[in-house]
Structure 1
Amino acid sequence: MIRDNAVDFMDEQVDLAPASAEPWRVLVVDDEADVHEATQLALRDLVIEGRPLAFLHACSAHEAYEILARDHEVAVILLDVVMESEDAGLWLAKRIRDDLGQKAIRIILRTGQPGYAPEIDTIRAYDINDYKTKSELTRVRLFTSLTVAIRSYWQIRRLEMSRRGLDLIVAASTGLGKLRALQAFAEGVVTQLCVLLNIAPEGLICAFSCPRTDEAPRVIAAAGRYRALIHRPLHELPDAEARGALQRCLSRKQHAFARGACLYFDVNETSGIAAYVNLARELDPVDRDLIEVFCANMSVGFENVLLHDRLFDFAYHDQLLHLPNRNRFIQLIDEKRADPRMTLALVDLDDFAEMNTVLDHRFGDQVLHAVATRLAQSFGPPVILARVSGDIFGLLGPPDKINPRGIGQAFFDPFSVQGEAIRVSATSSLIRLNRDSPATGGELLKDASIALKQAKLLNRGRAEYFSADLSLTARERIHMLTNLRAAFSAERLFLAFQPQIELASGKVVGAEALLRWKTEDGQFVPPDRFIPLAEQSGLIVHIGEWVLRTACHRLKRLNRLGYADFRMAINISHVQFREPDFVALLGRVLSDCQIRAEQVELELTESVAMGHLDSVIAKLAEIRRMGVSIALDDFGTGYSSLSVLKQLDVDRLKIDRAFVREIGQSGDASGIATLVVALGRQLNLGTIAEGVETEEQRTCLQALGCREGQGYLFASPLPAAQLEAWLATH
């Protein structure tokens, strides 16, 4: 090679640089060793943009290509044109752009023989960034060209880094957007932050603060040696610097950049999250800009996760007692339903609705809290405790714990509520899980509910195990209720009227309206089967209004036929009687039908006296003030005591057919009928016997002093048209 290919530098003054920061990597590609030496000597102490230079060397285009294929951090290439071939440098420039795809690297083409690569043609044809002849490159000019190239390279790299960072943020937002648990999302943020800042996942902590709950800030995610602190309070973090940075960040609600970066994620007005990153370097402006964008995106993600947590909490947890609710309990049953060692129980607090009404809901809430606390203490893990509905708790656990004895013991001692000892009884149902059963959690809970209803009817205050017979009975009841609704809508229910007779004279004094149901195939459904079902379902309220109106309209017709003193006895369900507007309804019906109130008698069972006696007494008095009379039906078979009877404002006692049937067969039954008649006489109440079927029964009742009776001895229940015909002959 000729000597003028070498670079001669004039002694011009430039700034020297002592910096020890990460250097700019400069690749010198030339086939003359003295060019390498001269270039490195001229630039060895220089600093550009605060960073020194580090030199790589290649003596051919192919050697340079291999270096660049391995090293992607080269900022500038000082490239000779003529080396192993006349266009070796141009070949390398094309390979760098096309094959290696390195668009950011700056290429300064240096040539000692411009004729081989004319400047204009070369700049136009190749993606190079500067073109210099070696003779014009003084030390300062080389420094100037290199500085311009490095600045250009760094601007391009910053754009690439920003684009890459934004891509990472978008990818992180998309990926993390699928996560719904706070810890999982926070761990994802920690991981993505490491990728974004190109640091190892070590010394990274994410803390959560929610002043609304008065809960101390806690660690929700961490990397490396801090992972053991997850779920722990922030004040237990041993690294004082990290702990202080996180506390300040959460308190001030802003980023803090010092030896480590503390990033703040503004979740909502009441919650904030901070992430601490232990950095070995100071963040440059690009990193900070990316972090701002990253935090803004992740803040929205955190807010969505917390919103999801809140919605999940509402959907699956009871807000009063902070227990799993019905939905969550079903999920937990599904998880355990194949385990034959588990028993499911429902525990229903007896008379809780009355307690809420008589006292107040706040007192009731405190009772629920006390019961929940007692159950949690009595059973504990692994038993699962849930609130299934208003006053019903669910238990799921091993049978040695979940059994009638264990549940009974939990309610043995009184509960302390507002400083008072309150006794609470409970009715419960139990069902043993079976791995061979295909039943789902919802179906098992339904079976337990069936057993609970049975227990409340027959075994109140105790426990009932579920059996297949109970399920069959429940299905039959549901089928019957469906048919009853259809029959009522299709007007297939009707009234039959059984005459009531004065025993002494045989005179007809009135009739009792009796509800009947005839199916489409002509079969009669016994009232004692469908009426209790209508009462339990609430359908009796609508059916009862129809019965009241229909019976009063029939009475109006009988009045027109000349039976002016005829009395119509109408059965009123205790469910219907307890309706708030029952008295008003009765008044409207009497007005609409234009009949005298004195002709109407309401038959009520003793069950109306159960519950709030004061309100029952007031309602009965209001009805009697209207002129309507009251008969107490099936007297002696219910729950009322003599003291209660004295308070009830009624006109007549009705002797149950069970006591009438045994007259002449059992002295006890006759004795009970005697007592009822005597009691009526003592309280100045009339008496009427039902189910009178023999002359002997009639004679005995009349002798006892019973004034009226009804039964097959006189007439069976008659459809309306037949009643009119019967009355015409009697």
Structure 2
Amino acid sequence: MNSTPDEELILVDDTGGSAPRHAASWPVLVIDDDEEVHAATRFALAEQPIFGRPLALVHAESAAKARAILAERRDFAVILLDVVMETGDAGLKLVEHIRKTLGMHECRIILRTGQPGYAPELTVFNDYDINDYRTKAELTRTRLITAITAALRSYEQLRTIAENRRGLELIVNGVTHLMEQHALTQFAEGVLTQITALLKLPLDGIVCAQKGSPFDEGDRERLYIVGAAGRLAPLITAPLDTLHEPGIRQAIEQTITSGLHQFGSGYTTLYLRGAEQEGAVFIDTGHALSEADRQLVEVFAANISACFSNLNYMEKLNFAAYHDALTHLSNRSNFIVQLEQALREERGPLVTVLVDIDHFADINDGLGHDVGNELLVAVAARLESAFYGQCRLARIGADVFGLLGDEVLLAPEAMQALFAAPFDVGEHLLPVNVKLGYCRLADGGGNGFMLLKRANIALNRAKKSLSADFDYFSGDMEEHTRWRLDLIRQLKHDFHAEKLVVWYQPQVAIYSGDVVGVEALLRWPDGDGFVQPPSVFVPLAEYSGLIVEIGEWVLSQACHAYRELAQLQESRIRIAVNISMPQFRAGNLTERVAALLGSQRVPPSALELEITESVAMDEPKTVIAALEGLRALGVSIAIDDFGTGYSSLAQLRALPIDRLKIDRAFIDEIRDGRGGLFAETIISLGQKLGLRLTAEGVETPEQAGFLRALGCSEAQGYFYARPMPLSELKVWLAARQRV
């Protein structure tokens, strides 16, 4: 089901829940390499009872210390774990140790990180049963208590299930032969076999029936045959009223109605009752049972009634373990099992499809999680209606469904047509668009997990595509994904190994030729003379979240460069630095910039922060609030690559900016003889809005002259200077001053 926002989960008092098992404290292990985090956690959770019991915090300052603690005790209800400690993956390796090596499956794990770039892949949450993931900035006191409360509730539920399972195992051991298999029909078969062995009867003419359908929980009154032997065996799972032997049928009905064993002259009917289940076993004895045999089967019936009760509970547990609680479809684990079976059988042109609901989060945010849940149920119902009996269906994740079936039946055109009609959800009629990821079983990689993974790769490609809503997996996709992951891994390594560098490109006043600023540009050399293109690695840094840390470092390097350049320039110079969307999302951007300027003794007026149009339009409220704070600080703001985005004039006017940087594509038009119409339009627009203008990518005297004639005040590009390391820039500036 959909999760509820943190702000709404204030569950600490929750006195309406079940009473605590005992008054002892909740043991909580806090693992973090930052002592301030430990102190903040102690303060936030001090004297804070949850479900009537205090928290007992145990602290570890590293993953290694946590391993030592866990070697001594494993009774922790909740573990608060930092993702990044001794190494970038120390936290996740510890999670694997906890789950796989120590076998601690009931304790709940909440991941925390101060570096969003180390967010685990979605599959990690499923594979290692992680309860929650939060950045440290998100975990206010209320949200921390809320997260721990939810984790403790989950822990108690898992403990209850585990204890019930242990109780069931004791019963199973007591009647081993009856409970070798847990399916209801196999249980019934075991009952019939045991009875015939006890009474030395042939395995024929006996029936085990129960009240209520084994397949439909809503059908609780009708009697169904769940076990039969000999000539009656074909009737298993059929309703009892289809049995054409009225004597057997009446005997079973009378036994369940009376709730008592029936001992006739030629038959015996035993009454079985579990906690929520009734049943009866009809035995064609051919004669009246002796007193000794009656006592024997009565004791036997008492024992199998206990099994019957717990079997029913176990069937429900089994269903819960392999089915989605909201839609009642198979869950991800069950779907992988079904994929494995299909791969073994190798029949027909089968394909697995992942169906992702477009913009599902917007429905949750705009209409509420209840409406989101209703939509998921409606989608599941439509899929079942269309494919029941022909395909395997599952809910894989929050808004992702899985299908396994014939490739023709599940063709993209058929799937898109299925979602063409809107969904009637409560008071809303919701149109739904879906993205589809396909993987043929022949391309599945040999096991269910790999097949699902490859379908997910295709789904991710489809979600990024601008031309199609579906994609099929192919081998080059996996290679590309592996290449991306390898490049991200190498980028993280080289950044922390201080192999990345910042180069600087001068910005020149077109009229005078004076250097008025420099733009800081990130570069990633590989040691062999090759410089990785920023257009390749910057998006990967943003995708992985590493850009936040890199961005802070670039800003620090730029401030250091300003101090050195200021000594060479008589006139004041500014330094421009690009800011990405993840840096805005990280929060407190104004405060972080102010602290850095203060520590580096750089005046705010010397710094210009550049953002692209797409960043400005992505989350306008977040961006505008931060930009207003930065401008109030004295920092100037520029829109980089202006003209390549989709901002409207109204949106542009709402942004607190000082400068437009004309994208090099429009400057190239001047060189190519196309007149520079777009550059002229942008310059005119900027002048009317009172904004300063800088042209990027100026490479010829003709371009510079054209821009000067239009009134563009500043430019940068190869015509003036290429980007260069700080040491070369200082030599270049000194040479210009000597001329």
Separation of aligned partners in 2, 1:545 and 1:326: 39
1:566 equivalenced with 2:576 (yes/no): no
1:488 equivalenced with 2:503 (yes/no): no
Compared with structure 1, are the counterparts of its residues 424 and 575 closer, same or farther at alpha carbon in structure 2 (3 Å cutoff)?
farther
3-state DSSP of counterpart to 2:210: strand
Larger radius of gyration: 1
1:204 equivalenced with 2:207 (yes/no): yes
3-state DSSP of counterpart to 1:364: helix
1:394 equivalenced with 2:402 (yes/no): yes
1:427 equivalenced with 2:435 (yes/no): yes
Deviation at 1:556, TM superposition (A): 4.9
Compared with structure 1, are the counterparts of its residues 285 and 175 closer, same or farther at alpha carbon in structure 2 (3 Å cutoff)?
closer
Deviation at 1:228, TM superposition (A): 5.2
1:409 equivalenced with 2:417 (yes/no): yes
Match of 2:663 among 656, 666, 670: 656
Match of 2:323 among 305, 309, 317: 317
| Post-superposition CA distance 1:611-645 (Å, at most 9, x none) | 54444433433333333332222222223333332
Matches within 5 A, 1:591-610: 591-610=598-617
Compared with structure 1, are the counterparts of its residues 681 and 310 closer, same or farther at alpha carbon in structure 2 (3 Å cutoff)?
farther
The runs of 5 or more residues in structure 2 that have no matched partner are 1-170
1:627 corresponding residue in structure 2: 634
Q: Tell me, yes or no, if the aligned pair for 1:504 and 1:702 is still in contact at 8 Å.
A: yes
Separation of aligned partners in 2, 1:593 and 1:227: 86
1:524 corresponding residue in structure 2: 531
2:253 corresponding residue in structure 1: 243
Q: Which amino acid aligns with 2:454?
A: D
Compared with structure 1, are the counterparts of its residues 290 and 510 closer, same or farther at alpha carbon in structure 2 (3 Å cutoff)?
farther
Deviation at 1:518, TM superposition (A): 1.5
2:696 corresponding residue in structure 1: 690
Which fold has the larger relative contact order, with Cα–Cα distance below 8 Å and residues 6 or more apart in sequence? 2
Q: Which amino acid aligns with 1:223?
A: A
1:185 corresponding residue in structure 2: 187
Separation of aligned partners in 2, 1:208 and 1:631: 74
Matches within 5 A, 1:76-87: none
Compared with structure 1, are the counterparts of its residues 618 and 221 closer, same or farther at alpha carbon in structure 2 (3 Å cutoff)?
same
Separation of aligned partners in 1, 2:374 and 2:355: 17
Separation of aligned partners in 1, 2:572 and 2:433: 50
Q: Tell me, yes or no, if the aligned pair for 2:351 and 2:438 is still in contact at 8 Å.
A: yes
Q: Tell me, yes or no, if the aligned pair for 1:428 and 1:461 is still in contact at 8 Å.
A: no
Compared with structure 1, are the counterparts of its residues 383 and 725 closer, same or farther at alpha carbon in structure 2 (3 Å cutoff)?
same
Compared with structure 1, are the counterparts of its residues 214 and 343 closer, same or farther at alpha carbon in structure 2 (3 Å cutoff)?
closer
Compared with structure 1, are the counterparts of its residues 257 and 301 closer, same or farther at alpha carbon in structure 2 (3 Å cutoff)?
closer
3-state DSSP of counterpart to 1:677: helix
3-state DSSP of counterpart to 2:220: strand
Deviation at 1:286, TM superposition (A): 7.1
3-state DSSP of counterpart to 2:396: strand
2:88 corresponding residue in structure 1: none
3-state DSSP of counterpart to 2:608: strand
Deviation at 1:528, TM superposition (A): 0.9
Separation of aligned partners in 2, 1:648 and 1:458: 30
3-state DSSP of counterpart to 2:436: strand
Q: Tell me, yes or no, if the aligned pair for 1:492 and 1:517 is still in contact at 8 Å.
A: yes
Deviation at 1:527, TM superposition (A): 1.0
Compared with structure 1, are the counterparts of its residues 596 and 311 closer, same or farther at alpha carbon in structure 2 (3 Å cutoff)?
farther
| Post-superposition CA distance 1:449-483 (Å, at most 9, x none) | 22222222223662223333323322222222222
Q: Tell me, yes or no, if the aligned pair for 1:577 and 1:608 is still in contact at 8 Å.
A: no
Separation of aligned partners in 1, 2:199 and 2:672: 100
2:277 corresponding residue in structure 1: 272
Separation of aligned partners in 1, 2:261 and 2:594: 77
Q: Tell me, yes or no, if the aligned pair for 2:188 and 2:208 is still in contact at 8 Å.
A: no
Q: Which amino acid aligns with 2:701?
A: E
1:466 equivalenced with 2:473 (yes/no): yes
1:677 equivalenced with 2:683 (yes/no): yes
Q: Tell me, yes or no, if the aligned pair for 2:272 and 2:305 is still in contact at 8 Å.
A: no
Q: Which amino acid aligns with 2:704?
A: R
1:216 equivalenced with 2:220 (yes/no): yes
Compared with structure 1, are the counterparts of its residues 590 and 195 closer, same or farther at alpha carbon in structure 2 (3 Å cutoff)?
farther
Q: Tell me, yes or no, if the aligned pair for 2:209 and 2:240 is still in contact at 8 Å.
A: no
| Post-superposition CA distance 1:21-41 (Å, at most 9, x none) | xxxxxxxxxxxxxxxxxxxxx
| Post-superposition CA distance 1:243-296 (Å, at most 9, x none) | 2423554xxxxx6455444343545xxx33533344653573675467446644
2:449 corresponding residue in structure 1: 442
1:15 corresponding residue in structure 2: none
Separation of aligned partners in 1, 2:589 and 2:177: 61
Separation of aligned partners in 1, 2:617 and 2:371: 22
1:545 corresponding residue in structure 2: 552
3-state DSSP of counterpart to 2:442: coil
2:505 corresponding residue in structure 1: 498
Compared with structure 1, are the counterparts of its residues 402 and 195 closer, same or farther at alpha carbon in structure 2 (3 Å cutoff)?
same
The runs of 5 or more residues in structure 1 that have no matched partner are 1-168, 250-254
Compared with structure 1, are the counterparts of its residues 671 and 438 closer, same or farther at alpha carbon in structure 2 (3 Å cutoff)?
same
TM-score normalised by L of structure 2: 0.67
Deviation at 1:665, TM superposition (A): 0.8
What percent identity do the matched residue pairs reach?
38
Compared with structure 1, are the counterparts of its residues 272 and 607 closer, same or farther at alpha carbon in structure 2 (3 Å cutoff)?
same
Q: Tell me, yes or no, if the aligned pair for 1:235 and 1:243 is still in contact at 8 Å.
A: no
Compared with structure 1, are the counterparts of its residues 382 and 209 closer, same or farther at alpha carbon in structure 2 (3 Å cutoff)?
closer
Deviation at 1:646, TM superposition (A): 2.8
Q: Which amino acid aligns with 1:712?
A: Y
Deviation at 1:693, TM superposition (A): 1.6
Match of 2:708 among 698, 702, 709: 702
Q: Tell me, yes or no, if the aligned pair for 2:499 and 2:525 is still in contact at 8 Å.
A: yes
Compared with structure 1, are the counterparts of its residues 422 and 644 closer, same or farther at alpha carbon in structure 2 (3 Å cutoff)?
farther
Q: Which amino acid aligns with 1:496?
A: W
Q: Tell me, yes or no, if the aligned pair for 1:340 and 1:434 is still in contact at 8 Å.
A: no
Q: Tell me, yes or no, if the aligned pair for 2:327 and 2:377 is still in contact at 8 Å.
A: yes
1:284 corresponding residue in structure 2: 291
Separation of aligned partners in 1, 2:706 and 2:607: 28
Q: Tell me, yes or no, if the aligned pair for 1:425 and 1:461 is still in contact at 8 Å.
A: no
Q: Which amino acid aligns with 2:195?
A: L
Matches within 5 A, 1:27-426: 173-201=175-203, 202-207=205-210, 215-216=219-220, 219=224, 221-224=226-229, 227=233, 230-232=236-238, 239-246=249-256, 249=259, 256=261, 259=264, 260-266=268-274, 271-278=276-283, 280-282=287-289, 284=291, 288=295, 291-292=298-299, 295-296=302-303, 299=306, 303=310, 306-307=313-314, 309-337=315-343, 338-426=346-434
Match of 1:617 among 598, 617, 624: 624
Separation of aligned partners in 1, 2:403 and 2:568: 64
Separation of aligned partners in 1, 2:293 and 2:172: 17
Compared with structure 1, are the counterparts of its residues 189 and 621 closer, same or farther at alpha carbon in structure 2 (3 Å cutoff)?
farther
TM-score normalised by L of structure 1: 0.68
